[in-house]
Amino acid sequence: MMNFFFGLNNSYISCKLTIPKFNNNSKYTNYNVYSAKPKNNEWILNKVDCDQNENFYFIENSLIKNDSIYFLADEKEIEKTSYMNINEFAKKNNFTNTLPSAFRANLKIYSSSGGFSSYQSEYPYSMTTKTGNILSPIDILLNKYADKNLIFFRNIYYLPNEDESNIFFVNIKTKKILKVKKIRNNYSNELQIDNNLIEKNVYIFSDFALGIPLYISIKNNHISFEHTHPPHHYILSENKFNIVGKLKEQIKEVINESYKK
Amino acid sequence: MKVIRNSKLIKIIRNFTGFKPALTILDLNKKNVSTSDAFFWRTDNDFKTIFKFTDIFSLFFKEQNSACEIFFYDKKNNFIKKIKLSQLNLSNEITIDKNFMDQKEDYGTFYIFHYSKNDHKSIIRNSCYTGFSHKDNISYVHGNTITAYKNLNNDKLNFGIGGRTFFKNNIYQIQNSFKNKNVELMLMNPTKKKLKILVNDENFTLDSCCSIIKKFNNVDIIKILSKCYLLRPIIFSYDKNYFDVYHG
């Protein structure tokens, strides 16, 4: 199945997506870049009129919205301009389903001062069909002494809803919830991080949404931008989901005991 | 079926035939194994390397007294030093600068192995985060390719577990445009065998677990050919006073 791409921006961070026209097995033939955004419980599709050269599409900041997703598709694969879910066109497209390396786009963020940072990004289709929990440490990619620290939490869900859920900031040693923030589905959610939250043992935990946590730290106009891996990435044996599941259950217990009462 | 599929022999056969090739030839039926990505360090050109990592046994298994060892190698895979860290926090950080490297201004690789005296019946992987710091500005990148492992019950280190093909070259084309950009590619060979590598028009060889930096200026695409399945570089990109590090 296909991969999706996304961007993020705010009043002081812009972004640019560079999507290749090739994968490691072939070059595209009739693909174009499309965007989709949720509206009134439908995905509204549009062809993106962006710059391109022989090898890449370049989607500049002005074309990137926090509520939109981007993907490559042949015009023939897009039968309608609105869909009730994204399975319908995702099933027809496997150009961006590649091994051993995932089909990725370069997601670059930059500020007006010249600082920039990027990573090779993708949002796999398989993640869009599930709900779940993301657990990720916050001190490992943020800097307590930076001028600004942010996390963008990017969720893409196959249904075009904008449901809200929570991100908890949990100290997993003391089992205390330090902060709660709302996020919404199908959006690049910006979470401003107070520097005093950036401590060892403090993790973010999403109570209902899968997603990719993107960490941005800005100091002296220099930007660091990277994502964390999900916990099961750190266990290779077959018992990984069992072990990670137990850890997440412990966090859920903390939340149930101290927050939802 | 899973036991057969996960075995080292079957993975080597898959890689030999090219049918559903395996990225790593590690036997996933093993228990109590600590694996490590190959992490880059660099102290050349005023760089420092910050390594931030999670105590994996503490996070997942609630270990109280876990420890780790970090092994450092130069770019030709010569052993430099090792450090042992005990009483780990959940998050930990070390700085690799030229003082740490006995005034060496160079680059190479390092590997981290966690220790536990308990039987967790698991294989863990450290694929945490290296920050490259230049003039106090820092850019972080996560781990790259599993390259080494160690059984928890003996001292032997096993390197070069990255998957490779036997006949066919594999293409790794970096999915970014480098037009008008000044970049360095850090490559390391995660396999057991010497690799012949072609990057755009340049041929070179890289011995097992050795690393190299290649510079490129104003090319649209960078295409890497080798018998390694995932010869994924770390990319340093420079523009005026700013730089960025990410995996390719």
Domains contained in chain B, CATH given: 2-159 (no CATH), 170-247 (2.60.290)
Q: For residues B101 and A258, what is the distance between their CA atoms, to the nearest angstrom?
A: 47
When the candidates are 1.10.3470, 2.60.120, 1.10.150, 1.10.10, the CATH number that belongs to A130-260 is 2.60.120
> How do the domains of chain A map onto residue ranges?
4-110, 130-260
Among A3-17, A97-111, B85-99, B134-148, the range scoring the smallest mean pLDDT is: A97-111
User: Which residue has tokens 């289709």?
Assistant: A125
Q: Say which of A226, A227, A236 has its CB closest to residue B28.
A: A236
Q: Say which of B122, B230, B239 has its CB closest to residue A237.
A: B122
- Render pLDDT for A187-205 as a digit per residue (tens, 0 to 9): 999 999 999 999 999 999 9
In the stretch 29-48 of chain A, residues with CB closer than 8 A to chain B read none
Q: For residues A156 and A67, what is the distance between their CA atoms, to the nearest angstrom?
A: 9
- Per-residue pLDDT, averaged over A109-136, amounts to 95
- Render pLDDT for B142-185 as a digit per residue (tens, 0 to 9): 998 999 999 998 889 999 999 998 888 899 999 999 999 999 99
Q: For residues A128 and A210, what is the distance between their CA atoms, to the nearest angstrom?
A: 8
Closest to B3 measured CA to CA, from B28, B24, B25, B26: B28
Residue A172 with chain B: CB contacts under 8 Å: 90
- How many other C-beta atoms can be found within 10 angstroms of the C-beta atom of residue A176? 13
Q: Does the beta carbon of A12 lie under 8 angstroms from any beta carbon of chain B?
A: no
In the stretch 127-166 of chain B, residues with CB closer than 8 A to chain A read 127-129, 131, 136-142, 146, 163
Closest to B56 measured CA to CA, from A215, A144, A213, A247: A247
3-state secondary structure A110-141: ECCCCCEEEEEECEEHHHHCCCCCCEEECCCC
Instruction: Flag whether pLDDT at B61 surpasses 70.
Output: yes
Structure tokens at B171: 């293409």
Peptide bond into A213 cis (omega under 30): no
Q: For residues A11 and A61, what is the distance between their CA atoms, to the nearest angstrom?
A: 12
Q: For residues B165 and B153, what is the distance between their CA atoms, to the nearest angstrom?
A: 31
Q: For residues A240 and A196, what is the distance between their CA atoms, to the nearest angstrom?
A: 32
% of chain B at pLDDT higher than 70: 100
Inter-chain touch B23–A100, beta carbons under 8 Å: yes
Residue in A224, A239, A240 to test binding to B, most B beta-carbons within 10 Å: A224
Instruction: Flag whether pLDDT at A261 surpasses 60.
Output: no
Among A91-105, A220-234, A242-256, B199-213, the range scoring the smallest mean pLDDT is: A91-105
Instruction: Quote the minimal CA–CA distance from B115 to chain A in Å.
Output: 14
pTM: 0.94
Q: Does the beta carbon of B3 lie under 8 angstroms from any beta carbon of chain A?
A: no
Residue A120 with chain B: CB contacts under 8 Å: 175-176, 246-248
Residue in B95, B175, B235 to test binding to A, most A beta-carbons within 10 Å: B175
Characterize B146-157 residue by residue with b for buried, 16 or more Cβ atoms within 10 angstroms of its Cβ, and e for exposed: bbbbbbbeeeeb
Q: For residues A217 and B241, what is the distance between their CA atoms, to the nearest angstrom?
A: 17
Q: For residues B147 and B158, what is the distance between their CA atoms, to the nearest angstrom?
A: 9
Q: Is B9 helix (H, G, I), strand (E, B) or coil?
A: helix
- Render pLDDT for B2-41 as a digit per residue (tens, 0 to 9): 777 778 888 787 887 777 777 888 888 889 999 999 999 9
Inter-chain touch A237–B248, beta carbons under 8 Å: no
Structure tokens at A53: 């050269």
CB B148 within 8 A of CB B35: yes
Query: How high is the pLDDT of residue B221?
Result: 95
Expressed in percent and rounded to 5, the helix, strand and coil fractions of chain A are 15, 40, 45
- Render pLDDT for B180-233 as a digit per residue (tens, 0 to 9): 999 999 999 999 999 999 999 999 999 999 999 999 999 999 999 999 998 999
Residue in B173, B176, B241 to test binding to A, most A beta-carbons within 10 Å: B176
Instruction: Quote the minimal CA–CA distance from B167 to chain A in Å.
Output: 17
Q: For residues A121 and A104, what is the distance between their CA atoms, to the nearest angstrom?
A: 5
In the stretch 197-216 of chain B, residues with CB closer than 8 A to chain A read none
Q: For residues B243 and B238, what is the distance between their CA atoms, to the nearest angstrom?
A: 4
User: Which residue has tokens 């949404």?
Assistant: A209
Structure tokens at B185: 């590619």
Residue B59 with chain A: CB contacts under 8 Å: 231, 234, 247
Q: For residues B185 and B206, what is the distance between their CA atoms, to the nearest angstrom?
A: 14
Instruction: Quote the minimal CA–CA distance from B137 to chain A in Å.
Output: 6
A67's enclosing H/E stretch is none
In the stretch 190-209 of chain A, residues with CB closer than 8 A to chain B read 200-201
